[in-house]
Amino acid sequence: EAQVTQNPRYLITVTGKKLTVTCSQNMNHEYMSWYRQDPGLGLRQIYYSMNVEVTDKGDVPEGYKVSRKEKRNFPLILESPSPNQTSLYFCASSLIRPGVYGYTFGSGTRLTVV
């Protein structure tokens, strides 16, 4: 089944403890992206990658890191999480560009930082 897989689905952590949210797609998509979803703010892009080893900042990149060493994987790293990073996170992929082909989203990771 063609899909984007995120792990974990739920995570509660403490301020300052480094964490990684994994994302993997099996559709050979070139473009991958991370979004956070907050009530009343919609979906805001954190980082995106147009291909292997090519990443760039989205609208809200502060406090996050990403890497794209393989085409299928695009992990999101929070080096020192803070409570304002409590949110619902989505990984998404697109064949080439989402403005042409649209996105396939993962099921989300609900992160709580206390």
Partner 1 sequence: QQQVKQSPQSLIVQKGGISIINCAYENTAFDYFPWYQQFPGKGPALLIAIRPDVSEKKEGRFTISFNKSAKQFSLHIMDSQPGDSATYFCAASKGSSNTGKLIFGQGTTLQVKP
Tell me: does residue 28 bind partner 1 (CB under 8 A): no
Among 40, 62, 69, 114, binds partner 1 (CB under 8 A): 40
> Counting Cβ atoms within 10 Å, is residue 54 exposed (0-12), middle (13-18) or buried (19+)?
exposed
Name residues contacting partner 1, limited to 64-103 (CB under 8 A).
Answer: 90, 92, 94, 96-100, 102-103
- Residue 95 and residue 29: Cα distance in Å, rounded? 4
What would the DSSP string read from start to end of 6-41?
EE-SEEEE-TT--EEEEEEESS--SEEEEEEEETTT
Residues in the interface with partner 1 (CB under 8 A) total 28
Name residues contacting partner 1, limited to 41-60 (CB under 8 A).
Answer: 41-45, 48, 50, 56, 58
Tell me: does residue 11 bind partner 1 (CB under 8 A): no
CB neighbour list of residue 99: distance below 8 Å, 6 or more residues apart = none
* Contact positions vs partner 1 (CB under 8 A): 4, 31, 35, 37, 40-45, 48, 50, 56, 58, 90, 92, 94, 96-100, 102-103, 105-108
